[in-house]
Amino acid sequence: MLGRLRDYYGFARIAKQMGADAFISIEAMIETLIAETFIRGAKHVIWAQDPFDRTDYQLLSSVDPRHRISRARFLVYKTLFGLAYKRADLILTQAKFYVNKLISTFIWH
């Protein structure tokens, strides 16, 4: 856990120094929130390649237990990543099906 915090701190330091015009995230993640916070002048794009909702995690964990996450952990993901999606200037995805899934899971909760 401490290693991750050190990595996030290092990314935040780099993000503050960037003169980026745009920042692109593949899926919403903690780094997306850091970039949205520290690279304020840039446009933020999130490519939602395969957004997972709670049902997806439950289904995946029935096949592979490494995908099992608690309800509390999913709520944290939903809250943090929902904030990242709400702050984004543009959200892209490869399937119309994902639009409603993104809205119901992350944006309007």
pLDDT of residue 17: 87
Asked if residues 16 and 34 have their Cβ atoms less than 8 Å apart, the reply is no
List of the chain residues with pLDDT < 70: 1-3, 109
pLDDT of residue 5: 79
Backbone angles phi, psi at 11, to 5 degrees: -65, -40
